[in-house]
Structure 1
Amino acid sequence: EGADGNDVSIANGGGGVMSSEQMDVEAYASLYSGRTKIMRLMFIAERCVNKSTGLEALRMAYHEIKKDDNTALLKDVLHKLEARLAPNSPFSLLQEQDWIDAVERRAQLRKEKLENELNGYKTNLIKESIRMGYNDFGDFFYAHGMLAEAFKNYVRTRDYCTTSKHIIQMCLNVILVSIEMGQFMHVSSYVTKAEQTQTQTSDLQDTLLLAKLKCAAGLAHLHASKYKLAARKFVETNFELGNNYTEVIAPQDVATYGALCALASFDRSELKNKVIDNSNFRNYLELVPEVRELIHDFYSRESLGRCTSKDRGNAHQRIIQ
């Protein structure tokens, strides 16, 4: 089942495909921001068997990419659009070439400027300026879709951080890029570092920061198929997260991932105490009524002795999808 509750089936070869049922792509995409919004649209375009929905997703991805400077991603989307549309379509690489060339020239000038500034900071041994220089480089490479280079530069800021705020920002940057690269060992490491830094340097809990870290940790556990650990992280995520981490996850996803992981791994007592009676997580479940009903139906069937190992297997299968 998708994060928005749309049905998902398994295609031949094991890849998830969206069902032929029409989905509201615009409403779904509005839950996200940044690169993850684009990648989710491209996923829909690739996996959706409804051609009009897939084409709508590609067009939306195109317009999102044009707001930024990722020319490689734009070329990818244009190739996909060209394969689906008539030759005289306005969506073509040829018609966008001038825009692409202008962006790439501007990017080269920006890169040279950043290099000169950073070299000057290094010569003068200005620690804070060096940190900012590497951070600017990380932002630059991230904006252009060069994730490995962005990762390197964000990590390099570590040696020049002079405050806990700097360390935590470095961790969040590395976590974001690592999630997008699928490097979840790095995600786990930097979640731990950020949590330790926050605990050691402040008597007050930063609720929003901790909620973001819970989500990142939950995604890392989910990627490793550690469903019980993932469930715990998601159900513990403070509802204050709201729409403040949409570059990574939507609150509807917290509900869906947390619920499905709990169904696959929690016993009856845990399901009752940590999910159904959890007033904080209940707020998330209210965002996805079908998932909330699934939880209550599952628990009711267990109470009546009607829940089987097959039901838990179905929960596992939904997570995989």
Structure 2
Amino acid sequence: MAERKFTDAEVIAAGEQLLAGGRKVNGWALRTTLGGGRPETLLSVWQRHHTGVPGGAIPTRPLPEEATAIIETAVAKQTKAMQDALAGALDLVAAAARKEVVLELEQARQEISRLEAEQDDASAVLEGLEADQERSQQQMDGLANELQLKDSQLSAMAEENASLAERHAEAEGQAQLARDQLAESQAELSLALAQKASAEAASAEHQRSASAAEERLADTQVELREMRNRLAIARSEADSAAGQIQEMERTRAQDLEILTALRVENRALGDKLARADAGREAAERYLERVQKDSGARIAALERQLAKAASKPAPRGTGKAPRVTSPAAGE
């Protein structure tokens, strides 16, 4: 293969580049930097430029062809080894990147599964709270209906008590009337007894009058006993109604306490339900954020893999990487 020809300017630029990098300028360093050329020819061009001597003023001693061939073979082998090492390194990097992507994908799937399980648990708790709230509402409705029924019963008993009070007042009035009649009868009896005592020897007419007065007195006493019995019955009914009213008032107070407790419990359930909703919304937001972050990281890793896969490997005939040759003196 014919050696590539380089201009003096290219050789001088390569030498300046080596000096700028802190390296020693020799024929093999120039060949490595340029990617070809005979080392002694390249060094001759650089020496002419560096010393200012006209072309050909500094004699150079070329290497034997066998040594040059051995050196070129060694350089080619070293270049091939470096290319193989670079390809292996790229494969290792790609494998590590794929492994990391798979690991992160698995972690993301596990995190998503965990969040879905938490969301299912939150949904179950929410359904339980809603069921508890519905049962509490049903209990409150039942107690409210029962309380309304008892209020109606209490109103009916209050009306009945008022009726009993009216009947009691009426019985009291009748009893007072009976007492007045009894007093009047007793007065008449006393008068009749006085008349009988003063006129024992009165006529048969007086005896009939006395007998009639006694009969009237007996009838009045019978009526008075009946009115007393009616008064006792009315008082007993009034006492019973008063007891029933007190019992219903105690029951109504207990029902009011139960209803108040149920309302407090319902408010507590409402607060739990609101906290469960807030927790579920936070879990959903966290899941969405994790999914976005995982998607972004996966996309970035895929771009890195694509970039590593699309990077061209160095060719043996092109510009080779900078290699320090054993013959460079470095």
Q: Tell me the TM-score normalised to structure 2 length.
A: 0.17
The answer to which structure, 1 or 2, has the higher relative contact order (CA under 8 A, 6+ apart) is 2
More helix by share: 2
Larger radius of gyration: 2
Q: Tell me the TM-score normalised to structure 1 length.
A: 0.17
